[in-house]
Amino acid sequence: MSRLYIRPTAFVDAPFGFDGQVLRLAGGLGWFAAVEAIRVADGRRVEQRLVPIDRLDLLGEDALAIVERLTAPRPPLRLGARTIPLDQPRVMAILNVTPDSFSDGGSHVDDPAGAAEAGIRMLEAGAALLDVGGESTRPGAATVWEGDEIERVIPVIERLAVGGAAVSIDTRKAAVMEAALDAGAALVNDVSALGWDDRAADVLAARNCPVVLMHQRAKPEGSTDVLIEVYDWLEARIAWAEERGIDRSRIIVDPGLGAGSFGKNVRDNLALINGLALLHGLGCPILLGASRKTFIGAISGEAPVEQRLGGSIATALAGAAQGAQLLRVHDAFDTVQAIRIWRALRDEALSPV
C-alpha cells in the first residue's frame, strides 16, 4: 500500500487574479499554485507529479486532510504576557550560557547580567523571543548535570522575564524545564523531542506552554529519503505527545538540521531545506535552525563558525520563502534585517496597484 505526501510548490508573490488557482500556505505570506504529489511504498518514492491547485481532485479523498493542514493558519504563540503571531517568519535568537557551545560557548559563562544584556540587545534588534540554553549539543559535548544547568540558566531567565521578554528554554531535562518555566520561560525547546527524560512529557502535559519537537538520529544514513523520514518521524512523535496529554496546538516541529548530534550530512540538510514546505502537512508551526551549522562551512570551503553569516542568512530566507514560522539564529540583527527586506517585498506585492 502506498501513502500520499504533498509538498506545496510554484509559489507566487500575491493571490490577486488567481482565484481558485492558488492557496495560502499555513495562513502566512506565501501562496502556492501547485503541489508535488509524492507516493511512497515500502520506503521508496513510486510516483512524483506536479498537480495544479485547481486539479487537486485528481489526488483523491486522502489529499483533503493534508491540504487542510497545509493551509490552516497557525495559532499565535502565547508566551506569558507576550503574544507572537505566526502569520510571518519570526526570529528566535540564541542565547547560550555554556562554556563549550560550538558557536559562542563561553561568551556569557558566570555572567548572568551580561547574558541578559546581550539578550535585550537581540530583542531591540527585532528578535521576537530568546532561546536560552545551558548545555551544548555539539558533537562530543559532555552531558551537564541538571543542577549545573539550572544554575546557569535561571538567573538569566529571571532577568529577562522581569523585563517582559518572551523566553524559551533549550533543554532535554524535566527538572530544568520546571525550573525555567517557574522562572518565567514560556516555551520549551527540546532537541530530543521529549525522548531523553522520561518525565519531560508529564511536565509539558501539566504546563500550558508550547514545545518544540526536533528530529534527530544517531548518524547520517546515506541513501535514506531524509525528507520523508523526518516527516514520518515527527508525525509519530506528535501522536506520541498527544497521547500523553500535550495538545497538537502547542507543538512546534523542527527538522533538526546539522551533523553530529543531529545525524544529517550535507545532502540531507540541503534536501530538508529544499523540501521544507512538505512539513506543513503536519499541521504545526515549523522552526528552522540552520544558523552557523557545519554544512554551511562545508559548502563554503570549510569556513569557520565566525565566517558563516552569509550562509546562515541564505538558509533563513529559504525557510521564510517556504513558510517557516520561526528562525532560530545567532545573528539577530542581520537576520532580522534580511527578513524585513523579504517582508517588504511581500508587502509590495500585496499592495494595490
What is residue 139's predicted lDDT score, i.e. its pLDDT?
A: 62
Domain shared by 227 and 190, yes or no: yes
Res 105 pLDDT > 90 = no
Whether the pLDDT of residue 223 is over 80: the answer is no
If pLDDT is split at 50, 70 and 90, which confidence band does 106 have? Answer: low
pLDDT at 179 over 90: yes
Count of beta carbons in the 10 Å neighbourhood of residue 344? 10
189 plus 295 within the same structural domain: yes
Residue 248's domain comprises 77-349
344 and 197 in a common domain: yes
Task: Tell whether the model's pLDDT for residue 121 goes beyond 80.
Answer: yes
| Cβ contacts of 9-12, under 8 Å, gap ≥ 24 | 9/34, 9/35, 9/36, 9/50, 9/277, 10/34, 10/50, 11/321, 11/322
Could you give the CA distance from residue 208 to residue 336 in angstroms, rounded to a whole number? 28
Q: Are residues 301 and 267 in the same domain?
A: yes
pLDDT digits (tens, 9 = 90+) for 289-338: 999 999 999 999 999 999 999 999 999 999 999 999 999 999 999 999 99
Model pLDDT, residue 259? 81
- In this predicted structure, the answer to whether residue 221 has a pLDDT above a threshold of 70 is no
Q: In the predicted model, is pLDDT for residue 101 greater than 60?
A: no
Check pLDDT > 90 for residue 143.
no
Q: Which of 7, 152, 264, 328 is catalytic?
A: 328
Q: Are residues 141 and 37 in the same domain?
A: no
Other Cβ atoms within 10 Å of 148 Cβ, number = 12
Are 142 and 221 members of one domain? yes
pTM over 0.75: yes
Sequence-distant (≥ 6) Cβ neighbours of residue 145 within 8 angstroms: none
Q: Are residues 148 and 173 in the same domain?
A: yes
Dump pLDDT digits (tens) for 24-55: 999 999 999 999 999 999 989 999 999 999 99
Laid out side by side, the sheet with 167-170 consists of 251-254, 211-214, 187-190, 167-170, 129-133, 90-96, 326-329, 287-288
- Per cent of the chain over pLDDT 70 is 94
Nearest to 291 by CA among 157, 127, 70, 75: 127
pLDDT band at 245 (very low <50, low <70, confident <90, very high): very high
pLDDT in tens, 182-196: 999 999 999 999 999
Contacts of 142 (CB under 8 A, 6+ apart): none
Is 248 among the catalytic positions?
A: no
C-alpha distance from residue 117 to each of 110, 111, 248 (Å): 13, 10, 34
Q: One of 24, 293, 308, 346 is an active-site residue; which one?
A: 293
How many folded domains does the chain comprise?
2
Residue 328 catalytic? yes
Return the residue matching grid coordinates 514546505. Answer: 277
Residue 218, pLDDT score: 67
